[in-house]
Amino acid sequence: MLSFEYISDPESLAKLVAQYQQSELLVLDTEFVRTRTYYAKLGLIQAYDGKTLALIDPVALADLSAFWQLLSDTKITKLVHSCSEDLEVFARYGQCQPSPLFDSQIAATFSGLGHGLGYAKLVNTFLDIEIDKGESRTDWMKRPLTDAQLQYAANDVYYLYKLYPQLLAKIQQSNRMDWLLEEGERMTEGRLTPPDEEFAYLKVKNAFQLFPQQLAYLKVLATWRLQKALKKDSALGFIIKDHALIALAKKQPKTVIELNQLNDLTEHEKRFHGKELIKVLQTADLDNLPEAVDVIALKNGYKASFKEVKNILIQVAEQHDVAIEFIGSKRLIHEFLMWLYNKQPAEKPLLLKGWRAKLVKDALAAIKFS
Give the catalytic positions in this structure: 29, 31, 86, 152, 156
Are 264 and 243 in contact by the 8 Å Cβ rule? The answer is yes
Residue 58 preceded by cis peptide, ω within 30: no
Taking CA atoms, 351 is separated from 106, 327, 339, in Å, by 17, 8, 10
Tell me how far CA of residue 318 lies from CA of 90, 314, 322, 330, in angstroms. 35, 6, 7, 17
As a dihedral over the C-alpha atoms of residue 10, residue 12, residue 13, residue 15, rounded to 10 degrees, the angle is 120
SS (H, E, C) the chain: CCCCEEECCHHHHHHHHHHHCCCCEEEEEEEEECCCCCCCEEEEEEEECCCCEEEECCCCCCCCHHHHHHHCCCCCEEEECCCHHHHHHHHHHHCCCCCCEEEHHHHHHHCCCCCCCCHHHHHHHHHCCCCCCCCCCCCCCCCCCCHHHHHHHHHHHHHHHHHHHHHHHHHHHCCCHHHHHHHHHHHHCCCCCCCCCCCHHHHCCCHHHCCHHHHHHHHHHHHHHHHHHHHHCCCHHHHCCHHHHHHHHHHCCCCHHHHHCCCCCCHHHHHHHHHHHHHHHCCCCCCCCCCCCCCHHHCCCHHHHHHHHHHHHHHHHHHHCCCHHHHCCHHHHHHHHHHHHCCCCCCCCHHHCHHHHHHHHHHHCCCCCC
**Residue 134 CA: distances (Å) to CA of 89, 118, 137, 153:** 23, 15, 8, 11
The one-letter amino acid at 326: F
